Homo-oligomer: A and B are copies of this chain.
Amino acid sequence: MTETQPRTVSVCFLPAELNPEDLHGTTAVIVDILRASTTITTALSNGAAAVKPCLSKDEARAFRTESGDCLLGGERGGLRIDGFDLSNSPADYAPDVVGGRTIGFTTTNGTRALLQSQQANVVLIGAFVNLIAVAERVEAETGDVAIVCAGTNDAVTGEDVLFAGALARKLESAGMHLTDSALIAATHWSSTICETPDLFEALCQTQGGRNLVGLGFDSDISLCADVDSLNVVPQLDPDGLIRQT
């Protein structure tokens, strides 16, 4: 009888740690809690047809020209981009706005992390709003798991690592093995939520949270802290579009 090795879970604290070759055969979960991964999940849950992650504002504008009919969304410095229809706030992506539409989308950190992870076998997007849905989907896939934190301006940011730890704990309960990186994230999640059981409060204390509070976007943090409120798992398809699965 062959002994089956348990699937392993690793966390990349920043996309810079990624070795694209190491992603072959893995299931990757991309995390930018405040706010890109929450916003993309919200948009698809509210009926958007697809989201096209773009590295630059110009790439997003070119996508609009090419596709003929799409919305543009995203941020620079946390704020809506001039000439874009939508900001990076999940609140902008209501059903009557995004229903049936494709959205060209560019943010400072999240879209880059997504596009750097395309070597993975499956690329999913995770946020607190779809934590259980993502965990179940990861369990249904095969191969090792890489949870990739987007960070903020090339620095590790606590809110992404908190989510990575929460997801790692769920996957550990499902029998997967946590590498040291995943164990560090899981410990951070368990300790933080033990000390600050209100996730909204915990997110406000992270670097990304402080940035949003500084911009007056506290209500967005509230939306991002609404655990398991959505039952969709966005997936980046090989054609470069993110769709609901």
Contact = CB atoms under 8 A, between A and B. Distances in A.
A219 interface: no
A17 B10 contact: no
A156 interface: yes
Contact of A13 (B17, B22, B157, B207): B17
Given A16-B16, A191-B187, A180 B154 contact: no
B192 A180 contact: no
Contacts of A190: 191
A180 B155 CA distance: 9
A158 B192 CA distance: 19
Contact of A191 (B14, B155, B191): B191
A181 interface: yes
Interface in A175-199: 179-181, 183-185, 187-188, 190-192
A17 B14 contact: yes
B191 A179 contact: no
A206 interface: yes
Contacts of A207: 179-180
Interface of A: 10-11, 13-14, 16-17, 19, 22, 154-158, 161, 179-181, 183-185, 187-188, 190-192, 206-207
